[in-house]
Amino acid sequence: MAGFFMSVTITVILLIGAMLLFIHALRKDDKLHDDRKADAYRKAPRQPRTKTMSETDMHDNKMLISGIKSRLDLEDCLFIDTETTGLGNTDQVIEIAIINGHGEILLDTLIKPTIQIPEDAIRIHGITNEMVKNAQTVDAIADDFRRIVEGKKLFAYNAKFDSRLLRQSFHSVGESFPRAEWFCVMDSFSEFNGKRTSLINAAASFGYVPEEKAHRALTDAMMCLEVFAAMRIYDGDIQPDTPKEAENLKGKRVVFTGQMKTGSRAQMKKLASSLGMVNQSSVGNKTDFVVIGDEGDERWANGTYGRKIEEAIARVKAGQEINIIKESEWREMTGL
C-alpha cells in the first residue's frame, strides 16, 4: 500500500512540474512577443511633422511683418550679415550686406579674401572662388564700411560670429576695425521663443519666407530685420494700426485655441490685451470670441474638434452668441 501511495505522489509531482514548465513557456513566449513589439516600436522611424503654408498665407504673413517695419523707430539701427570662408579664427568674410531699418540697401558686395574658399563652405552659400576673383578686397571697402556704421547700432543674427569674422578680415589686410554697438537678434529670439534656432526657421515662425536663396548676405540681413521687427510688435513695443471695427473689441472676452501660425498663443493673448480685450483660458457664459489657430484648420475641417471648440459649438447651439473664427479672420478683423 505504501508503495502505491508513493507512486501516486510521484506522478502528481511530475504532472505539476510539467504544468509549471508549460505555463513558464507560455509566459516566456508572451514576453518575447511583447519585447519584439517594443523593440520594433523603438526601431521604427518616427514620421516627421510637416508644416505647409499656402502661397496666400505666405503673402499675408509677409505683409503683416513688412507693414510693421514702417512704424518702428529704427533710424539708428542697421542690420548686417556676412558669408565667410568658414568658422575658424583665420577665416574671412567673402560677402557683406548692410541694410537700414527700412530695408534700404547701404552695402551689398562680394569680397575677395586672402585665402581660398573651401568646398564645404561653398556648399552652404554657393559663393565660389571664381565669383570673388575680381571682387573688391576688404581694404577697398573699409572706409565705406566705417562711414556707414559710425554711430549706429548693429544688429545681426549671431552677432558674435559676424563681428569676429569682420574683425579678422579687417586685420588680415592691416585695417583697423571700427568700434560699434552690436546686438544679437539670435539671442533675443532664443529668449522670445524659448529655444535657439536658425535664422530661416526664426523668420518662418512669423510666416516670413525669403524670395531669394538663404545663406546669401542680403537675404539673411533682410530676414534678420523681419525677425527683429516681428518680435518688437509681439512684445508690445509698438501698437499695430487697427481698423475702426477693432475699436468695438474693447472689453470683449476671447479664447485662443489650437496652434497659431503668427506667433504663440501667449503672444496672441498679449496682442488681444493691447486692444483692450479680456483673455479667457476656457469658454464660458461671457465668451464673445473663440479664435482657432490656422494650423488646426485641417483637423477642424475633418470634424476633429478640441475641447474648447466643442464647448463653444454646444453653447452656440444652446443660444449663446459666440463668434467662432479662424486666426486669419482674427488678423483681418484686428489689423494684426
Residue 135 falls inside a structural domain:
yes
Residue 82: left if φ>0, alpha if ψ -120 to 50, beta else—which one? beta
Are 230 and 253 contained in the same domain?
Answer: no
Q: What is the pLDDT of residues 243-285, one digit of tens each?
A: 556 668 889 999 998 887 766 777 778 778 877 889 999 999 9
Are 259 and 329 contained in the same domain?
Answer: yes
Are 62 and 109 contained in the same domain?
Answer: yes
pLDDT at 215: 80
Are 324 and 264 contained in the same domain?
Answer: yes
Are 181 and 326 contained in the same domain?
Answer: no
Are 75 and 211 contained in the same domain?
Answer: yes
Q: Cα separation of 4 and 103, whole Å?
A: 105
Mean of per-residue pLDDT scores for the chain: 76
Residue 210 falls inside a structural domain:
yes
Q: 78 lies in which domain range?
A: 55-234
Bridge partners, 278 (sequence order): 253
Q: How many domains does the chain have?
A: 2
Q: What is the pLDDT of residues 124-155, one digit of tens each?
A: 999 999 999 999 999 999 999 999 998 899 99
Residue 260 falls inside a structural domain:
yes
**Is pLDDT above 60 for 237?**
no
Q: Cα separation of 331 and 271, whole Å?
A: 11
Are 222 and 250 contained in the same domain?
Answer: no
Residue 18 falls inside a structural domain:
no
Q: Show the cell assigned to 88.
A: 575658424
Are 71 and 217 contained in the same domain?
Answer: yes
Residue 66: left if φ>0, alpha if ψ -120 to 50, beta else—which one? alpha
- Split at pLDDT 50, 70, 90, the class of 63 is very low
- Split at pLDDT 50, 70, 90, the class of 296 is low
Residue 2 falls inside a structural domain:
no
Which residue from 194, 236, 242, 201 is spatially nearest to 220, judged by alpha carbons?
201
